Structure 1
């Protein structure tokens, strides 16, 4: 884990995809997209049907290693609102055990806006916690510090003469609210270039926008956009 400061508070990036908030004992994750493979299987696009297991195993590890007492998901928890009903017994058992072990809040997203209660935990559209707002997608005009997901940001890096893509968080500062877009956590999620105009525009107004990710045990901050002087 690497430490980062956001809106005057301390956080930790866990494996580059989850954010731990020590003051609240909360683990924040975005875009699990559980049961994505089974969704595509219905249209004849067959993918290995183990994405939910892998995602939940990652989540269990993050809870264990951070000691989180609470998990807050930032939307698109399932790839569609009917995804919970397609969980195979092993994955369903894993999810039930996790939601019993910690205080769990499901924030809904555009993929699972009709997510029904009954999975364990609480289902909400957004949440305010510790003076910060948590939702699935950036909200224009928001003046409170904000966490969101939705965009699956990632960056391309050159490492030892190889170009690799890494999930990242994106943070905007100045002018408007301080905002953070979390990387996608799910095992079967693609990504969008963190400097894509859609992301930059969503975070306006801002003075600066940076990608942040862990590398070699330290926090790397890459400038994506700066306001003109």
Structure 2
């Protein structure tokens, strides 16, 4: 394991990967960048359905961050691990400027949209739409399958960790990893998250699970679990 700039290099099931501080995953040997749960159009859809009237800048902010990560890693392939759009219909309803930005990011790259629970069908954007995608030793899907083979990479749960550092509570989005599965944080702006000490994530992740905290200097730590929280 080593750390360089705002990325942390680690080994997972035979692949050498980089956890970026933004929440993206870089697989250098496969020239692949992976992001999960972009939830493009979240604020616009929420406002249209009677939710909070947040400024509709989430998609713009998320795409700008993705553009920076693409420029930094120069991938030949981008994999979006589901819930890329906040609904199937929102892809076609995005402003033309945002749709053009997506098309520009896709140009010259193999772009794979993995289907999520928010966007289970074709989302009206270029690229390939699949339920799962695999390249040994890794397999990519939206929601983890408890009985899956080792090397699974997924999203969906928006993991966040709360830790104590020098007597102060620190909360950050994070990657989760055990010996068989790797779970990515939500990449989209304003997406919220599920604490690692929740019963759901404590049950899903195996013994010895770890977190990689997002941020300017990603940090790898033991996963805070429900049992530790009750102690």
Q: Above 0.5 in TM-score?
A: yes
Query: Cα deviation per residue 1:65-104 (whole Å; 9 max; x = unaligned)?
Result: 1121210011101111111022112111110101114210
Counterpart position of 1:56: 63
Contact 1:200/1:209, CA 8 A, preserved across alignment: no
TM-superposed deviation, 1:214: 5.2
Alignment partner of 2:50 out of 44, 59, 68: 44
- Unaligned residue ranges in structure 2 (runs of 5+): 1-6
Q: CA RMSD in A?
A: 2.1
Counterpart position of 1:207: 207
Alignment partner of 2:73 out of 53, 63, 66: 66
How has the CA–CA distance of structure 1 residues 211 and 218 changed in structure 2, closer, same or farther, with 3 Å as cutoff? closer
Paired residues for 1:16-55 under 5 Å:
16-45=22-51, 46-55=53-62
In 2, the alpha carbon distance for the partners of 1:221 and 1:132 equals: 23
Counterpart position of 1:7: 13
Q: 99-108 or 214-223: which moved more?
A: 214-223
TM-score, L = length of structure 2? 0.88
TM-superposed deviation, 1:131: 2.5
TM-score, L = length of structure 1? 0.89
Paired residues for 1:152-167 under 5 Å:
152-159=158-165, 162-167=168-173
TM-superposed deviation, 1:58: 0.6
Q: 159-168 or 118-127: which moved more?
A: 159-168
TM-superposed deviation, 1:16: 4.3
TM-superposed deviation, 1:37: 0.6
Aligned length: 220
- Unaligned residue ranges in structure 1 (runs of 5+): none
